[in-house]
Chains A and B, each alone.
Chain A
Amino acid sequence: MMTFLIVAAVVLVIAILYLIFRIGNLVGVVKGKEGDAVSAMNNTNAWLFMLFLVAGLSVFFWYSFTYFADYTLPVASEHGVVTDGLFWTTMWITVGSFTIIFIGLFWFTFKYRYDKNRKASFFADNHYLELTWTIVPAIVLTLLIFKGLTAWTDITGPAKDDAVVIELVAQQFAWTSRYPGVKDGQLGKNNYQMIDAANEFGIDLSDKNSFDDFKSLELHLPKGREVLLKIRAKDVLHSVFLPHFRVKMDAVPGIHTTFKFTPTKSTNDMRAETGNSNFNYEMACTEICGKGHFSMKFPVYVHDSYEDYVAWMTQQESWLKQNPDYLKRVPAELREVAMIKAGLPLESVAAPQVTQTSN
């Protein structure tokens, strides 16, 4: 019954609107306005454009200044300061030219609205004008390109030798990170064929660098030290996005991508800066990857110093220690090394085998 009433009401409203439209039409026919060159609405439209111009620009500038803090994220990386600077330089240049052209567009629209006593001017071209607005944008763009490419080359250049290396692995719909252990500081090899339920990284246990690698379900970064992210994906495309650090790089199955950056503010610094004691950095996925795309969050923690970071690292259990069953996959001659590096007690199950093979 309710549905019927709603449908009936909608039909009635549409019918009334149609009637009004029809009557308006007929009145127009009777009045014989057809011969007029331009309808009375011409002036209304011109004024509406002025209203739009003034209201539009006012709201734009008012919102942009009033809510500045709401739509800008604090920046927490070295290169982020550079790209933000370029962003705001571009913003000033473009908003400046936008405002001028916008005003010109709507002011001319208003000022030169139809007047039957005036004739438009026959102004078909002017080479100086056209050259000016070809060359001026070209010069401005050249400057922006130059600044942009300088920044881009720095950002994408090779990482320092002492950069902290961290591997990020994406899968539907979660992130994991793998750290090289403190003993060798090198990430072990991996192979997607070796992935199984426990060995989610596909760690190749024939590589001795893998023995002390450890897994973390939170991205830990040192403040003030260059970090090199090695990024890969197991199933489909994903993308690492660290909004506060101005970092974004796709995770692609089959290739390793990288991104290097230097965090400049620890989590504690940010808590102080934002006045939010619960502040936490977050990492998101920005490449469509399926149903759970929107929920691929990875917590991020930035230590106050490199020493803090190393202290945290030394506390972590190696992956192999957490999964001692995988010792079987370690070539026999390397098992002792593996156990030492992984931090496994030598008297465990595998110990006799080790002594045997070392004979």
Chain B
Amino acid sequence: MATIDIDIKSAQSHDSHEHDHEHEHHEGNFWTNYIFSQDHKVIAKQFLITGMFWALIGGVLSVIFRLQLGFPEANLEWLRPVLGGWITPEGKIDAEFYLALVTMHGTIMVFFVLTAGLSGTFSNFLIPLQIGARDMASGFMNMLSYWFFFLSSVVMLSSLFLSTGPAGGGWTVYPPLSALPQAIQGSGLGMTLWLVSMALFIVSTLLGGINYITTIINMRTQGMSFTKMPLTVWAFFFTAIIGLLSFPVLFGAALLLIFDRSFGTSFFLSDIYIGGEALPNVGGSPILFQHLFWFLGHPEVYIVLLPALGITSEIIATNSRKPIFGYKAMVGSMLFIAILSFVVWAHHMFVTGMNPFLGSIFTLLTLIIAVPSAVKIFNYVTTLWRGNIKFTAAMLFSIGLVSFFLTGGITGIFLGNSAVDIQLHDTYFVVAHFHLVMGSASFFGMIAGVYHWFPKMFGRMMDERLGTIHFWLTFVGVYLVFFPMHYIGIAGFPRRYYSWTSFETFSGFADLNMLVSVAAILTLSAQFLFLFNFIYSIFRGRLAPANPWNSNTLEWTTPRFPQHGNWPGAIPTVYRWPYDYSKPGAKEDFIPQHIPYSETPESNLPHENEQIKLEGVVVKPSSGHH
């Protein structure tokens, strides 16, 4: 089929591509350009492709356990070639392996896909391009950040192949279950590898985060004041700060857990009788671990979500051909969310035996976070209002994100209220809530980002029709997977259950569970359309114009294939905010950030005419911020 290549354009582009390669060659060799590259754009692609690989693994794992939940009677003998001994002689998934699947699905999706894959990709790719910098503050640290992530991935991946299985105590790895190999097989070597992998992962996140923060503070181009920064960069900035403050706490928790597991300490263990013997550990507290875990775990939700919200703010404004509504409120609400994210963690622990008074405080703080979240949703909707909306694939996924953020966010008001949470805690209501608001919303942000910035990453366009089909299948699919879970959760079905048949109370909903599983399989299948589109377009997609979406931000002022250093000549100076879309009086419906007010007298607002006087004066970019 590849022989019917009569597309002259694509043949030509191939030539130019070869040409570009030659350009790069005189700067370094294959290893320094593509593997151990210090160019933020290459590192971004490395994060993206690794993230996509993990997303596929995480998705497949979820479909395997959905088979068990949706079709409890089915014979899964056909999976034996892949899963081997994890298929019982009766053709079922082993109950302990089921827990390992759930655990690895969570770990992979939260950390490897939505943290590294999303933030790693787009923070790396967009920060220098959008603030007008030649690269990250430290290209070397940035490279290290990826390779620590890679190492962490290798360790986590290898744990999938252990005979005792990977970690199986849930992605939250609560001790004592995660500390005692006698309690569950996965707490043996599988858990050791989990902890090692996470430690490496945290190092990667910190190296990346320090770089993002430094780059944003110090390396903005002339004129790019904080108030002129695109919302994407604001989002990456807050995300990096949250990560820098919270990940070390998880590192501490992991370290203490390693001590408890291997060196006989009792940080989290006390009064345990297991396997016919009383363990010597006394004085530890399993609840302490939960505090430490969620001190990262809750901010982690926003580490995952904020970049997606930043990306969609950009995409929705661009494709509505309208300024984002309430720029300052958007920044303010992100800041407020970032601060609050540190003081709400214990809402995961209302019924863990924690002092109920703490529960009251955390209910109060948690529900406050709904206010800035609501502001963001209203601002998105108002941005669409009286816009002129182009449904690019990226735009479709961004609208999908707003829809998920709304649907899933609203159930947070139930769960954040401790009295209501008593019944809903650890049921499918929680599963529905966080998969929509954090999982699917962030995933859609990531996909939207790929569609939108693909032209700048690979110099070519992705296929928009395939993108549209991909969107509708995934959008409807995700709702079919997670919406029914609300009902199952209100009915009290506990999560992490291999089967509900032991209980009369939970004997219903075989129909909904089957629907969910079928929808999950279809949704995963739809992702192969994306995968095909992605790979195909890298090599054969239409050549991208420099600014395919008529967007305002600086990355679109770079050439089709930006080289190391991003701009061939001087870095453009910034004169205006990034959201001058459909400005009254303007010739076009967009005015990029690097166009001075002196060139647009027809559309300037009165206070902007004042700015013209200053435009000739060379201002040191960050002088106002030190």
Do A and B come from the same complex?
Answer: yes
Known contacts A133-B375, A141-B371, A297-B503; A286 and B491 CB within 8 A of each other: no
Is B141's CB within 8 Å of the partner chain A?
Answer: no
Residues of B within 8 A of A72 (CB): 490-491
Is A284's CB within 8 Å of the partner chain B?
Answer: yes
A:33-64 near B, CB below 8 Å: 34, 37-39, 41-42, 45-46, 48-49, 52, 56, 60, 63-64
Q: CB < 8 Å: which of B270, B323, B386, B502 contacts A295?
A: B502
Residues of A within 8 A of B95 (CB): 291-292, 294
Residues of A within 8 A of B329 (CB): 125, 130
Contact A141 B413 (CB under 8 A): yes
Residues of A within 8 A of B352 (CB): 250, 252
Q: Mark A75-103, 1 if CB is under 8 A from B, else 0.
A: 00000101110110011011001100110
Q: How far is the CA of A48 from the CA of B400 in the complex (A)?
A: 13
Contact B413 A287 (CB under 8 A): no
Is A248's CB within 8 Å of the partner chain B?
Answer: yes
Q: How far is the CA of A45 from the CA of B99 in the complex (A)?
A: 40
Q: Mark B167-198, 1 if CB is under 8 A from A, else 0.
A: 00110001011001001100000000000000
Contact B407 A98 (CB under 8 A): yes
Chain B proximity of A152: nearest CB distance (Å)? 4
Of the listed residues A56, A86, A87, A280, the one surrounded by the most CB atoms of chain B closer than 10 A to its CB is: A87
Binds B, one of A113-121, A219-227, A318-326: A113-121
Q: Mark B355-375, 1 if CB is under 8 A from A, else 0.
A: 010011001100110110011
Residue of chain A at shortest CB distance from B484: A63
Residue of chain B at shortest CB distance from A45: B391
Contact B286 A86 (CB under 8 A): no
Residues of B within 8 A of A9 (CB): none
Q: Mark A242-279, 1 if CB is under 8 A from B, else 0.
A: 01101111101111010000000000000000000011
Q: How far is the CA of A124 from the CA of B384 in the complex (A)?
A: 12
Q: CB < 8 Å: which of A70, A118, A156 contacts B491?
A: A70
Residues of A within 8 A of B564 (CB): none
Q: CB < 8 Å: which of B360, B367, B413, B500 contacts A152?
A: B360
Q: Mark B319-343, 1 if CB is under 8 A from A, else 0.
A: 0111111111100000000000000
Q: Mark B397-431, 1 if CB is under 8 A from A, else 0.
A: 00100110011001101100111101101110000
Contact B425 A148 (CB under 8 A): no
Q: CB < 8 Å: which of B271, B351, B368 contacts A239?
A: B351
Q: CB < 8 Å: which of B371, B385, B420 contacts A83?
A: B420
Binds B, one of A24-32, A302-310, A331-339, A349-357: A24-32
Is B272's CB within 8 Å of the partner chain A?
Answer: yes
Q: CB < 8 Å: which of A42, A112, A195, A291 contacts B387?
A: A112
Known contacts A252-B353, A294-B498; A114 and B170 CB within 8 A of each other: no
Contact A48 B472 (CB under 8 A): yes
Contact B423 A122 (CB under 8 A): no
Is A290's CB within 8 Å of the partner chain B?
Answer: yes
Chain A proximity of B378: nearest CB distance (Å)? 4
Is A359's CB within 8 Å of the partner chain B?
Answer: no
Is B499's CB within 8 Å of the partner chain A?
Answer: yes
Binds A, one of B4-12, B145-153, B242-250: B4-12
Residues of A within 8 A of B425 (CB): 248, 286
B:459-484 near A, CB below 8 Å: 463-466, 468, 472, 475-476, 479, 483
Known contacts A141-B367, A148-B363, A284-B503; A123 and B325 CB within 8 A of each other: yes
Q: CB < 8 Å: which of A46, A108, A293 contacts B497?
A: A293
Is A183's CB within 8 Å of the partner chain B?
Answer: no
Residues of B within 8 A of A87 (CB): 414, 420, 423
Q: CB < 8 Å: which of A90, A124, A280 contacts B323?
A: A124
Contact B492 A22 (CB under 8 A): no
Q: CB < 8 Å: which of B176, B271, B286 contacts A192?
A: B271
Contact B1 A19 (CB under 8 A): yes
Residue of chain A at shortest CB distance from B498: A294
Residues of A within 8 A of B422 (CB): 83, 155, 246-248
Residues of B within 8 A of A94 (CB): 410-411, 413-414
Residues of B within 8 A of A138 (CB): 371
Q: CB < 8 Å: which of B1, B276, B426 contacts A22?
A: B1
Q: CB < 8 Å: which of A29, A129, A250 contacts B353?
A: A250
Is A235's CB within 8 Å of the partner chain B?
Answer: yes
Contact B579 A120 (CB under 8 A): no
Is B581's CB within 8 Å of the partner chain A?
Answer: yes
Residue of chain B at shortest CB distance from A115: B388
Is B396's CB within 8 Å of the partner chain A?
Answer: yes
Q: CB < 8 Å: which of A83, A250, A293 contacts B419?
A: A83
Contact A112 B385 (CB under 8 A): yes
Binds A, one of B16-24, B206-214, B582-590: B582-590
Contact B320 A112 (CB under 8 A): yes
Contact B273 A294 (CB under 8 A): no
Contact B488 A71 (CB under 8 A): yes
Contact B271 A253 (CB under 8 A): yes
Is B90's CB within 8 Å of the partner chain A?
Answer: no
Contact B325 A45 (CB under 8 A): no
Is B278's CB within 8 Å of the partner chain A?
Answer: yes
Q: How far is the CA of A286 from the CA of B399 in the complex (A)?
A: 35
Known contacts A125-B328, A137-B374; A235 and B180 CB within 8 A of each other: yes
Q: How far is the CA of A91 from the CA of B9 in the complex (A)?
A: 56
Q: How far is the CA of A63 from the CA of B353 in the complex (A)?
A: 36
Residues of B within 8 A of A248 (CB): 351, 422-423, 425-426
Residues of B within 8 A of A253 (CB): 176, 269-272, 286
Residues of A within 8 A of B270 (CB): 253-255
Residues of A within 8 A of B6 (CB): 26
Q: How far is the CA of A282 from the CA of B282 in the complex (A)?
A: 33
Q: CB < 8 Å: which of B360, B387, B491 contacts A120?
A: B387
Q: CB < 8 Å: which of A102, A119, A156 contacts B388?
A: A119
Contact A241 B494 (CB under 8 A): yes
Q: How far is the CA of A197 from the CA of B537 in the complex (A)?
A: 66
Is B14's CB within 8 Å of the partner chain A?
Answer: no
Residues of A within 8 A of B375 (CB): 130, 133-134
Is A343's CB within 8 Å of the partner chain B?
Answer: no
Residues of A within 8 A of B96 (CB): 290-291
Known contacts A112-B385, A248-B422; A41 and B363 CB within 8 A of each other: no
Q: CB < 8 Å: which of B374, B388, B419, B420 contacts A118?
A: B388
Residues of B within 8 A of A121 (CB): 322, 386-387, 582
Is B487's CB within 8 Å of the partner chain A?
Answer: yes
Is A193's CB within 8 Å of the partner chain B?
Answer: yes
Contact B504 A280 (CB under 8 A): yes
Q: CB < 8 Å: which of A24, A25, A130, A249 contacts B351?
A: A249
Chain B proximity of A178: nearest CB distance (Å)? 15
Contact A192 B273 (CB under 8 A): yes
Q: How far is the CA of A309 from the CA of B176 in the complex (A)?
A: 36
Residues of B within 8 A of A71 (CB): 487-488, 490-491, 509
Is A186's CB within 8 Å of the partner chain B?
Answer: no
Known contacts A70-B508, A289-B177, A290-B183; A120 and B327 CB within 8 A of each other: no
Is B381's CB within 8 Å of the partner chain A?
Answer: yes
Known contacts A71-B488, A98-B407, A195-B273; A287 and B426 CB within 8 A of each other: yes
Contact B99 A288 (CB under 8 A): yes
Contact B99 A293 (CB under 8 A): yes
Contact B466 A21 (CB under 8 A): yes
Q: How far is the CA of A293 from the CA of B283 in the complex (A)?
A: 26
Contact A282 B494 (CB under 8 A): no
Residue of chain B at shortest CB distance from A64: B487
Task: List the 6 closest pairs (A to B, CB-CB), nearest first.
Answer: A254-B270, A156-B356, A257-B353, A148-B417, A243-B492, A151-B419
18 A-B contact pairs sorted by A residue (CB < 8 Å): A64-B487, A90-B414, A105-B402, A134-B371, A137-B374, A141-B368, A145-B363, A148-B418, A152-B360, A153-B360, A195-B273, A237-B177, A241-B492, A249-B351, A279-B504, A290-B99, A290-B177, A294-B496
Known A122-B581, A246-B423; further 13 A-B contacts with Cβ < 8 A: A70-B509, A72-B490, A73-B491, A105-B406, A122-B323, A122-B583, A172-B183, A239-B426, A249-B353, A253-B176, A254-B286, A288-B170, A294-B497
